[in-house]
Chain A
Amino acid sequence: GAGVSQSPSNKVTEKGKDVELRCDPISGHTALYWYRQSLGQGLEFLIYFQGNSAPDKSGLPSDRFSAERTGGSVSTLTIQRTQQEDSAVYLCASSLSTVSGNTIYFGEGSWLTVV
């Protein structure tokens, strides 16, 4: 596709349920990033992938959060046993690589509401 595509665009889930958020990066982009943005807050880095590898998982808030990327393309962010504080916009981004100076393009985000 022309841009970074994320699904679902909106998700309302009950506390304790698991959710999966999907990201389809720009074709040919080897680097993929997950951020989240809580209401009125700045962007919080979660994890990035170079190819299928995630060298830095330090941004994941807890062990309930995990992410994977297969085939160097689509990535899935999984949140297990969701809590109300997980409510946020989850943003995916991609770039040609992680080399300095590359442009990072963001998707429109997945709005998650935990009730």
Chain B
Amino acid sequence: DAKTTQPPSMDCAEGRAANLPCNHSTISGNEYVYWYRQIHSQGPQYIIHGLKNNETNEMASLIITEDRKSSTLILPHATLRDTAVYYCINSGSARQLTFGSGTQLTVLP
């Protein structure tokens, strides 16, 4: 069973920042937080991952709380193409990715 908790759905206005929360209260010390997204009928797309420091790449930013029990994925300027299911996963090794039900993000025009 999934070790993370995410809201089932969120809306965001186009051009605004989308902030997607995730709770991972049982995360252990060597587990990373990964974010993927999946657009219908496509394979999961890697977004970002981190251990304890905040991370930023060309797609998004990842904010991890100091106690590492929760994190937030930030899409700084959401577009309609960002509409997808977003998965937050914690994993101690690259083979143990357990996808939960994720958050359906809908970007509204």
Contacts and interface: CB of A to CB of B under 8 A. Distances in A.
8 contacts: A45-B97, A56-B95, A98-B93, A98-B95, A100-B93, A100-B94, A106-B45, A106-B46
- Shortest Cβ-Cβ A-B pairs, 4 listed: A106-B43, A43-B99, A102-B94, A42-B99
Interface in A39-72: 42-43, 45, 48, 56
Interface size class of B (residues with CB under 8 A): 20 to 34
A19 interface: no
A42 B2 contact: yes
- Where chain B touches its partner, the secondary structure class is loop
Interface string B33-75: 0101000001111100101000000000000000000000000
B84 to A, nearest CB: 13
A100 B2 contact: no
Interface string B95-109: 111111100000000
A6 to B, nearest CB: 8
Contacts of A45: 95-98
B76 interface: no
A101 interface: yes
